[in-house]
Amino acid sequence: MEKTPPSLHIAMYPWFALGHLTPFLHVANKLAKLGHKISYLIPTKTQPKLQPFNRFPDLITFVPITVPHVNGLPPSAETTLDVPFPLHPLIMTAMDRTEPDIERLLRHLKPDIIFFDFTHWVPKLARSLGIKSLHYCIISPVTIGYTLSPTRKFSGEEVSGADFMHPPPGYPDSSIKLHLHEARAFASKRASTFGSDVGFYERQSISLHEADGLAYRTCREIEGQYIDYLEREFRKPVLLSGPAIPEPPTSSLEEQWAKWFSGFRTGSVVYCAFGSECTLMKEQFQELILGFELTGLPFLAALKPPIGTESIEEALPEGFEERVKGRGVVHGGWVQQQLILEHEAVGASLRIAGQIFNARMMANNLKVGVEVEKGEEDGLFTRDSVCKAVKTVMEESSEVGKEVRENHAKIREMLLKKDLESSYVDNFIEKLQKLKG
């Protein structure tokens, strides 16, 4: 009889943003469910936010990390949720300064593998301790392949927007392209530093090239051609955790939201959330919520205060609250997103889609959504374009909306198919065992 491999001990050290911390915990739950031990390295004061989502506390241990002080950061800041967007690089600097503590913890914990994403120094550190490193990326293969393929021969920081307008050689879908304003933004980001005087793209490139393996929260049924492309380009194993659909929360929807949603008919509410990584300009913030007002539909928008403002209230257009009273809420705090999306009253979700490429793939290829139109030169959306996109999806008479709803139902059925996720998790663990050696 074939011997069952021993259970794994995995350390996890995700970027200090809830949009990264939460997906790492989701996959931790999947692994712990099958008996594997997880040491989850997390900022001390952030633990309570994620504790309700730790379904296996006997196997998933939250290991507290003290975030070092960095000049320019508020003393209590730990994650991107705690600071405005311009200060995010300082959160990265603080995370980089935890390297000595992480080394000490890894020596003590002795995990088989460490999952990481933004801390480009982890592979070298792990290698010195005899630990394998896995770049577990919540950004999609379609995005990584387009922006970080080794075939892009960029030199130094001299990168123009034109360099990003078309996909790299061998990229599997030539229909996915960037508008000029998008390409310029990518070129600008590539030239900028992101913590400890390291460029954002340099940080990602080092992580991808130095890790022992790459991993994504996706499945071949949706991104198979992009996964194959990454395996060819980076010449290392690409592991898939599958969709890693979150375990049902143990908590209930907060009473204020449960009561609010109960006042609307099934499928009538528009829910909007851009996550802790996205902070809009004030003008775009206002255009977005004015677009929701124009739809005439009930809506909940969970957004960070826009750049240059201290609160949601001061950013609202004059008279807005009174006009949408009873049907529209703009909330600046954290919300129970999974429970909200499960509520029967929610009929559409407007998201930032993680990356431009996700939006293109979802709208153009999978046809499970509609991309909000933006200006070709400036990349800005208007209240009218927001209203148009929402109505296209929500109105019963819309042919595009009908197609989106039908395709959405098919994708949902596929993702929830019995044994689909378990087969991915089993295969994921098998490849982790091989990576461990």
**Is residue 4, in this structure, part of any structural domain at all?**
no
Distance of CA 249 to the CA centre of its chain: 19
For residues 430 and 324, give the distance between their C-alpha atoms in angstroms, rounded to a whole number.
52
Q: Provide the pLDDT confidence category of residue 158 given band limits of 50, 70 and 90.
A: low
Question: Do 362 and 424 belong to one domain?
Answer: no
Task: Work out the mean pLDDT of the chain and round it to a whole number.
Answer: 91
Q: Which of 404, 393, 391, 397 is nearest to 364 (CA)?
A: 404
Residue 1 lies in a domain: no
Range among 79-88, 122-131, 151-160, 177-186 rated most confident: 122-131
Going by C-beta distance under 8 Å and a sequence separation of 6 or more, which residues neighbour residue 202?
Answer: 120
In a domain, 237, yes or no: yes
The answer to whether residues 226 and 332 belong to one domain is: no
Choice among 206-220, 241-255, 346-360, 386-400 with the minimum mean pLDDT:
346-360
Same domain, 200 and 89: yes
Q: Looking at residues 384-402, what average pLDDT do you find?
A: 91
Q: What pLDDT does 357 receive?
A: 86
Q: Are residues 68 and 144 in the same domain?
A: yes
Residue 199 and residue 81 in one domain: yes
Does any domain span residue 2? no
| Residue 250 included in any domain | no
The strand pair at 238-240 and 213-216 is best described as parallel
Residues 178 and 311 in one domain: no
**Would you name the residues annotated as active-site residues?**
20, 117
Domain identity same for 398 and 423: no
Residue found under tokens 């982890």: 122
End-to-end CA distance of the chain: 21
Task: Find the mean pLDDT for residues 359-386.
Answer: 88
pLDDT tens digits for range 266-292: 999 999 988 766 788 999 999 999 999
Q: Is the Cα dihedral 76, 82, 87, 91 positive or negative? A: positive
User: Same domain for 64 and 201?
Assistant: yes
Quick one: 235 and 279 in the same domain? Answer: no
Q: Is 178 exposed, middle or buried (0-12, 13-18, 19+ CB in 10 A)?
A: buried
At 413 the pLDDT is 87
Domain contains 25? yes
Q: Which of 38, 42, 30, 28 lies closest to 61, judged by CA?
A: 38
pLDDT greater at residue 153 or residue 304: 304
| pLDDT surpasses 70 at 156 | no
Decide which of 81 and 134 is more confident.
Answer: 134
Phi first, then psi: what are they for 135, rounded to 5°?
A: -80, 95
* Structure confidence at residue 1 (pLDDT): 47
Do 425 and 299 lie in one domain? The reply is: no
301, pLDDT greater than 80: yes
Q: Is the pLDDT of residue 155 over 50?
A: no
- What is the Cα–Cα distance from 138 to 163, expressed in whole angstroms? 25
Specify if 124 maps to a domain: yes
Q: What is the 3-state secondary structure (H, E, C) of the chain?
A: CCCCCCCCEEEEECCCCHHHHHHHHHHHHHHHHCCCEEEEEEEHHHHHHHHHHCCCCCCEEEEEECCCCCCCCCCCCCCHHHCCHHHHHHHHHHHHCCHHHHHHHHHHHCCCEEEECCCCCHHHHHHHCCCEEEEEECCCHHHHHHHHCCCCCCCCCCCCHHHHCCCCCCCCCCCCCCCHHHHHHHHHHHHCECCCCCEHHHHHHHHHHHCCEEEECCCHHHHHHHHHHHHHHHCCCEEECCCCCCCCCCCCCCHHHHHHHCCCCCCCEEEEECCCCCCCCHHHHHHHHHHHHHHCCCEEEECCCCCCCCCHHHHCCCCHHHHHCCCEEEECCCCCHHHHHHCCCEEEEEECCCCHHHHHHHHHHCCCCCCCCCCCCCCCCCHHHHHHHHHHHHCCCCHHHHHHHHHHHHHHHHHCCCCHHHHHHHHHHHHHHHHHC
Q: Is the pLDDT of residue 122 over 80?
A: yes
CATH number of the domain enclosing 44 = 3.40.50.2000
- pLDDT, residue 289, reads 97
Whether 103 and 164 share a structural domain:
yes
Higher local confidence (pLDDT), 338 or 207: 207
Residues 343 and 358 in one domain: yes
Q: What is the pLDDT of residues 167-201, one digit of tens each?
A: 988 999 888 888 888 888 887 777 778 888 888 88
The domain in which residue 174 lies consists of: 9-245+418-436
* Number of domains the chain contains: 2
CA distance 87 to 99: 20
Q: Distance between CA atoms of 84 and 310, rounded to whole angstroms? A: 9
In tens, the pLDDT along 236-269 reads 999 999 988 777 667 789 999 999 999 999 999 9
Sign of CA dihedral 95, 101, 104, 106: negative
Q: pLDDT over 70 for what percent of the chain?
A: 95
Non-local CB neighbours of 130 within 8 Å, separated by 6+ positions: none
